[in-house]
């Protein structure tokens, strides 16, 4: 049942998002029925809960990490869950009439349901981590809800601020909860609740407390994090009504109460929570008086009332906790109804500005009456529920809990804040409903549809009933909730309306009288004043927040980027290599690394000669790299060939074949890229260029390179000369044929034993190819290499001069013989690729080699005919090939599930075909086909990216010419 309770809203949310935008009513019905279902479920669970034992639902999720899907419902959670569901239902009914048909209503209800689900999750989770997850969910979904009208800049800003503040707080809280889990040794709520002393005595207590309070205070909009709440008023009113009464901001108070038994009672708790609560209580009430926006007033009043609850919780006495829980419920009822009333006023008149509204009583008497009762409850007028919890608050405020200044101040602050509450409540009613009839309102006001008022009827009625006969109505439920929080410490309390002439009553009276007096004094000022309280107007939280954000995310980020970042490749590479060098050197030296002694023994002279050539090539390549790129590339090819030969020499034909093919492709691709590099310096030995700093820089780079190289050599030499430990290679050798169905062990490992690795690798290849493509797509070559090369220009000019020649004739003539040969090679290379592919499973070859071979064929075509020629004749879709490759490989792996084997299990069989005879057919060959297609696609994609550069370049050239012309003009 608990699971249904939490999951039903999410399921409903998914369903609601699928409802077409026009069918708003259907979405409302759906949301309403889900809310009703939740309400019915929680109502049905009451009999179980009221017996005192919490209801639990456990499902193992990540039991190794102590993370289970534990849902737990005790009296307190029950009370909150019912509140969430009940007010949810009322808000849905209200929203059905509030939302206009032009809004995407199903999206609203989808978000609303998701939010309800997240909130129920927070309330019901029996695991701290689960709680944190739902907590973050409420932050995110409230972000979406507040920003529901995302075309409105205020809504976007408000949503972003709410998310930033509550999200940051949530992160801190998450750390705090993890620390609790660390202290207690379990994330289970039951365990945590029973180990209060362990937590309070732990040295990390203060840290935990501060972290969790950061989460709680940001969520509940307590000072100094209160500023986001008024800005969240940009949300549709039903959202505000829901967020402010029963859900989002109450989540903070909920957690505070939840952890009250384990965290409260210490001095730190008292000071931090109490200070925040008192400040919020007073400031919120004070600010509320000066709001001109109806919802703004209610928002600050919410802040103030949350402050009241926080103060109650800070006191650390059980009676205060009772009052806190009671006030949470009362506040939810009257605040939800007030928000709905404000929404109706906004809806029917088109404005929420209290300076423009007046005398609405004659137009909407029912709304006015209901709002008056609700705001009287907010002000704490006797015979309403707000009065009861306020009396309890006063009683607790007078009580001395700790001997310090804060405790002494509490009753005074409480009275003053209460006085402010009376003032803003009267202001709310008076300015809207009384006075002369309103002038030039956007709409002519009238009573809203009957069903829009129904939720308010219900809420106000419950305010009244609870206020008059508390013990009979709310009593038992409150008792269950209180008992689940306080356990055996549950104090004796009385819910009676009349406690006799005592101090709290006097305080109430003082507050009422002074509040009315204050309103009368301030009335003239308030009807004309601008938005915001005097003195504090300038000190706006939002502005500070924005400034902090700008500083953090813009100024500091920029300056860090300026200092630490560079757009040039050389410093990046230098830093990369240097850091790697230092990191390796430090760790190795600290660990006492001793390079193996280099021993020359049994050196084959021929092999040594080959290596000598390779080394000379490599050094030559490095030496020529800066000033003669072509020569460097040729030498690089030489070094690559030597590597190939080494593989052959050491009996690794697979590697050799692949290396050879890769070598060809890279050389050609780099060759193609050379054209776009900036021109080399003509005279490198120019004394003007060879300043001391240049020399020093080169010396430093040389040193870095040499050290890195020597280090690599030492490490690899040491590793390679070690005794080989017991490896699994013998296993592979034995099983390659019996289990993989192939005699080429390398290939069998790639496509079968380590198929999953290969799948990952080809996925990476895919990403790399796409990245290269994307980078080259945005690549703008250096200005000096933008223009057409000299040769092309001369040839084109020649062709242009002769009327009987077309552009490109010269180059075609030059390339006549080569291009014919290259075109003829296409099928041949294709054949070779097929050959490599099919023999792959048993002999050197395989999908990778075949893919590269095939891509060489394509490169040749591009070289022979030019980009346009090829693409007119061949359909080249590397992206599709890559996609198909990845899909085929994955599908092959998934195919084994059909037969009940684990992912990527392969099956080998020999098939006899006519002509060809017996050929091995393992499912791995399909996988290999995927590898083939992907490699081919990736290589050709990079090739195309380079090739298209030259097609694109003329356009860039034209642009550049235009720019130059403009500048000259």
Partner 1 sequence: MSHLTDLPAWAAIPVCILLLLGSGITLIGSLGLIRLKTFYGRLHAPTLGASAGIILICLASMITFAVLQNRWIVHEILIIVFVVVTTPVTLMLLGQSALYRDRIEENDGVPRKAAGQQTDTTGMDI
Give yes or no for a contact between 935 and 848, defined as CB atoms under 8 angstroms apart.
yes
DSSP 611: H
Pair of tokens at residue 856: 């060489």
| 607 binds partner 1 per the rule CB under 8 A | no
Distance CA 741, CA 906 (A): 9
DSSP 591: T
User: Whole-number minimum distance, CB 797 to partner 1, in Å?
Assistant: 10
Tell me the window of 78-86, 270-278, 482-490, 812-820 that interacts with partner 1 (CB under 8 A).
812-820
| Contacts (CB under 8 A) with partner 1, residues 832-851 | none
User: Whole-number minimum distance, CB 65 to partner 1, in Å?
Assistant: 58
- The smaller minimum CB distance to partner 1, of residues 63 and 789, is found at 789
Tell me the window of 7-15, 329-337, 657-665, 787-795 that interacts with partner 1 (CB under 8 A).
787-795
Q: Return the residue of 1, 580, 794, 963 that touches partner 1, per CB under 8 A.
A: 794
Give yes or no for a contact between 3 and 85, defined as CB atoms under 8 angstroms apart.
no
Neighbours of 405 (CB within 10 A): 8
Distance CA 218, CA 224 (A): 8
The per-residue DSSP string of 1-12 comes to: -HHHHHHHHHHH
Q: Return the residue of 31, 456, 822, 853 that touches partner 1, per CB under 8 A.
A: 822
- The smaller minimum CB distance to partner 1, of residues 415 and 795, is found at 795
| 818 binds partner 1 per the rule CB under 8 A | yes
- The smaller minimum CB distance to partner 1, of residues 492 and 817, is found at 817
Q: Return the residue of 681, 728, 782, 828 that touches partner 1, per CB under 8 A.
A: 828
Distance CA 882, CA 884 (A): 5
**Up-side HSE of residue 537: CA atoms within 13 Å toward CB?**
11
| 798 binds partner 1 per the rule CB under 8 A | yes
User: Whole-number minimum distance, CB 600 to partner 1, in Å?
Assistant: 22
**Up-side HSE of residue 299: CA atoms within 13 Å toward CB?**
22
- The smaller minimum CB distance to partner 1, of residues 328 and 795, is found at 795
Neighbours of 693 (CB within 10 A): 8
- The smaller minimum CB distance to partner 1, of residues 556 and 798, is found at 798
Give yes or no for a contact between 879 and 941, defined as CB atoms under 8 angstroms apart.
yes
| 208 binds partner 1 per the rule CB under 8 A | no
Distance CA 943, CA 671 (A): 11
Peptide bond preceding 9 in cis form (omega within 30 of 0): no
List Cβ neighbours of 887 (8 Å cut-off, separation of 6 or more): 930
| 802 binds partner 1 per the rule CB under 8 A | yes
Q: Return the residue of 138, 810, 867, 923 that touches partner 1, per CB under 8 A.
A: 810
Tell me the window of 130-138, 472-480, 593-601, 807-815 that interacts with partner 1 (CB under 8 A).
807-815
Q: Return the residue of 506, 756, 814, 897 that touches partner 1, per CB under 8 A.
A: 814
Tell me the window of 42-50, 231-239, 808-816, 841-849 that interacts with partner 1 (CB under 8 A).
808-816
- The smaller minimum CB distance to partner 1, of residues 659 and 810, is found at 810
- The smaller minimum CB distance to partner 1, of residues 817 and 969, is found at 817
Distance CA 509, CA 387 (A): 11
In angstroms, how far is CA 680 from the centroid of its own chain?
A: 46
Q: Return the residue of 18, 692, 720, 817 that touches partner 1, per CB under 8 A.
A: 817
Burial class (CB in 10 A: 0-12, 13-18, 19+), 791: exposed
Q: Return the residue of 821, 894, 960, 963 that touches partner 1, per CB under 8 A.
A: 821
Q: By rule CB under 8 A, what count of residues binds partner 1?
A: 14
Give yes or no for a contact between 784 and 679, defined as CB atoms under 8 angstroms apart.
yes
φ, ψ for residue 57, nearest 5 deg: -130, 125
C-alpha dihedral sign at 401, 405, 406, 411:
positive
| 806 binds partner 1 per the rule CB under 8 A | no
- The smaller minimum CB distance to partner 1, of residues 658 and 810, is found at 810
Pair of tokens at residue 674: 């050379």
DSSP 597: P
- The smaller minimum CB distance to partner 1, of residues 598 and 674, is found at 674
User: Whole-number minimum distance, CB 721 to partner 1, in Å?
Assistant: 25
| 916 binds partner 1 per the rule CB under 8 A | no
- The smaller minimum CB distance to partner 1, of residues 19 and 822, is found at 822
Neighbours of 74 (CB within 10 A): 24
Q: Where do we find the tokens 């030039």?
A: 440
Q: Return the residue of 510, 825, 919, 956 that touches partner 1, per CB under 8 A.
A: 825
- The smaller minimum CB distance to partner 1, of residues 367 and 744, is found at 744
Site string for partner 1, 737-776 (x = CB under 8 A): ----------------------------------------
Please tell me whether residue 61 adopts helix, strand or coil conformation.
strand
| Contacts (CB under 8 A) with partner 1, residues 459-498 | none
Tell me the window of 308-316, 575-583, 795-803, 917-925 that interacts with partner 1 (CB under 8 A).
795-803
Tell me the window of 411-419, 509-517, 778-786, 809-817 that interacts with partner 1 (CB under 8 A).
809-817
Give yes or no for a contact between 357 and 305, defined as CB atoms under 8 angstroms apart.
no
User: Whole-number minimum distance, CB 901 to partner 1, in Å?
Assistant: 38
User: Whole-number minimum distance, CB 798 to partner 1, in Å?
Assistant: 6
Nearest to 396 by CA among 385, 386, 407: 407
User: Whole-number minimum distance, CB 659 to partner 1, in Å?
Assistant: 18
The per-residue DSSP string of 623-649 comes to: HHTTT-HHHHHHHHHHHHHHHHHHHHH
| 791 binds partner 1 per the rule CB under 8 A | yes
Residues that bind partner 1 (CB under 8 A): 791, 794-795, 798, 802, 810, 814-815, 817-818, 821-822, 825, 828
């Amino acid at each position: 049942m608990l699971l249904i309770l939490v999951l039903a809203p999410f399921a409903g949310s998914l369903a609601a998002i699928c409802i077409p935008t026009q069918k708003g009513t259907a979405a409302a019905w759906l949301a309403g029925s889900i809310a009703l279902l939740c309400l019915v479920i929680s109502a049905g669970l009451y009999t179980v809960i009221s017996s005192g034992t919490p209801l639990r639902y456990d499902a193992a999720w990540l039991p190794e990490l102590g993370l289970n899907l534990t849902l737990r419902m005790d009296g307190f959670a029950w009370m909150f869950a019912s509140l969430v569901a009940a007010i949810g239902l009322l808000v849905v009914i209200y929203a059905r009439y509030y939302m206009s048909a032009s809004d995407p209503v199903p999206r609203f209800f989808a978000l609303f349901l998701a939010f309800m689900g997240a909130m129920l999750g927070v309330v019901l989770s029996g695991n701290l981590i689960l709680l944190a997850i739902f907590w973050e969910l409420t932050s995110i979904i409230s972000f979406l809800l507040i920003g529901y009208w995302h075309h409105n800049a205020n809504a976007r800003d408000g949503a972003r601020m709410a998310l930033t503040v509550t999200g940051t707080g949530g992160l801190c809280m998450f750390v705090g909860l993890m620390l609790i889990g660390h202290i207690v040794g379990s994330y289970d709520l039951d365990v945590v609740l029973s180990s209060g002393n362990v937590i309070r005595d732990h040295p990390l207590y203060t840290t935990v407390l501060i972290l969790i309070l950061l989460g709680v205070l940001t969520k509940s909009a307590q000072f100094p994090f209160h500023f986001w709440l008024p800005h969240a008023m940009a949300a549709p009113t039903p959202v505000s009504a829901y967020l402010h009464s029963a859900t989002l901001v109450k989540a903070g108070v909920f957690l505070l109460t939840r952890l009250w038994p384990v965290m409260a009672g210490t001095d730190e708790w008292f000071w931090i929570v109490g200070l925040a609560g008192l400040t919020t209580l007073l400031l919120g009430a004070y600010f509320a008086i000066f709001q001109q926006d109806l919802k703004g007033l209610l928002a600050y009043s919410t802040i103030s009332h949350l402050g009241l609850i926080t103060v109650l919780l800070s006191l650390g006495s059980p009676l205060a906790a009772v009052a806190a829980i009671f006030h949470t419920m009362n506040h939810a009822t009257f605040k939800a109804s007030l928000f709905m009333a404000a929404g109706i006023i906004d809806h029917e008149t088109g404005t929420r500005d209290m300076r423009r509204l007046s005398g609405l009583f004659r137009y909407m008497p029912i709304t006015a009456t209901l709002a008056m009762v609700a705001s009287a409850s907010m002000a704490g007028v006797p015979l309403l529920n707000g009065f009861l919890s306020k009396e309890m608050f006063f009683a607790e405020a007078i009580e001395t809990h700790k001997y310090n200044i804060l405790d002494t101040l509490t009753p005074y602050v409480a009275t003053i804040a209460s006085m402010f509450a009376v003032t803003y409540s009267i202001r709310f009613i008076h300015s809207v409903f009384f006075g002369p009839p309103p002038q030039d309102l956007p709409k002519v006001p009238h009573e809203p549809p009957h069903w829009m008022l129904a939720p308010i009827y219900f809420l106000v009625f419950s305010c009244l009933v609870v206020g008059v006969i508390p013990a009979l109505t709310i009593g038992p439920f409150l008792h269950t909730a209180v008992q689940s929080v306080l356990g055996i410490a549950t104090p004796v309390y009385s819910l009676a309306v009349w406690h006799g002439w005592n101090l709290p009553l006097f305080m109430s009276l003082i507050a009422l009288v002074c509040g009315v007096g204050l309103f009368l004094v301030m009335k003239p000022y308030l009807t004309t004043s601008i938005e915001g309280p005097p003195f504090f107007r300038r000190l706006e939280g939002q502005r500070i927040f924005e400034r902090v954000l700008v500083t953090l995310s813009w100024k500091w980020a920029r300056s860090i980027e300026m200092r630490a970042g560079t757009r040039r490749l050389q410093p990046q590479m230098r830093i990369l290599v240097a850091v790697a060098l230092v990191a390796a050197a430090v760790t190795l030296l600290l660990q006492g690394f001793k390079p193996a002694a280099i021993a020359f023994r049994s050196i084959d002279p021929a092999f040594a000669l080959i290596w000598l050539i390779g080394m000379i090539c490599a050094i030559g390549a490095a030496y020529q790299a800066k000033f003669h790129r072509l020569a460097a590339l040729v030498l690089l090819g030489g070094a690559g060939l030597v590597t190939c030969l080494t593989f052959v020499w050491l009996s690794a034909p697979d590697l050799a074949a692949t290396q050879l093919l890769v070598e060809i492709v890279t050389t050609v691709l780099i060759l193609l890229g050379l054209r776009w590099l900036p021109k080399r310096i003509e005279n490198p030995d120019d004394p003007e260029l060879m300043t001391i700093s240049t020399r020093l820089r080169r010396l430093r780079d040389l040193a870095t390179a040499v050290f890195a190289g020597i280090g690599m050599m030492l490490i690899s030499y040491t590793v390679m000369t070690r005794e080989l430990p017991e490896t699994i290679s013998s296993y592979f050798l034995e099983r390659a044929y019996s289990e993989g169905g192939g005699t080429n062990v390398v290939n069998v490992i790639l496509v079968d034993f380590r198929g999953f690795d290969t799948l990952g690798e080809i996925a990476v290849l895919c990403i790399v190819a796409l990245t290269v493509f994307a980078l080259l797509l945005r690549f703008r070559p250096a200005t000096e290499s933008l223009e057409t090369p000299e040769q092309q220009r001369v040839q084109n000019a020649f062709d242009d001069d002769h009327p009987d020649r077309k552009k490109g004739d010269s180059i075609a003539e030059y390339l006549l013989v080569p291009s014919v040969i290259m075109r003829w090679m296409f099928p041949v290379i294709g054949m070779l690729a097929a050959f490599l592919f099919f023999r792959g499973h048993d002999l050197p070859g395989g999908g990778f080699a075949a893919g590269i071979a095939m891509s060489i064929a394509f490169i040749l075509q591009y070289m022979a005919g030019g980009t346009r020629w090829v693409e007119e004749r061949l359909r080249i879709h590397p992206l599709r090939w890559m996609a198909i490759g990845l899909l085929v490989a994955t599908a092959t792996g998934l195919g084994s599930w059909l037969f009940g084997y684990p992912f990527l299990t392969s099956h080998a069989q020999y098939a006899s075909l006519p002509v060809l005879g017996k050929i091995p057919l393992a499912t791995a060959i399909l996988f290999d086909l995927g590898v083939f297609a992907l490699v081919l696609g990736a290589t050709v994609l990079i090739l195309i990216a380079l090739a298209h550069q030259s097609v694109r370049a003329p356009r860039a050239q034209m642009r550049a010419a235009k720019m130059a012309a403009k500048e000259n003009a």
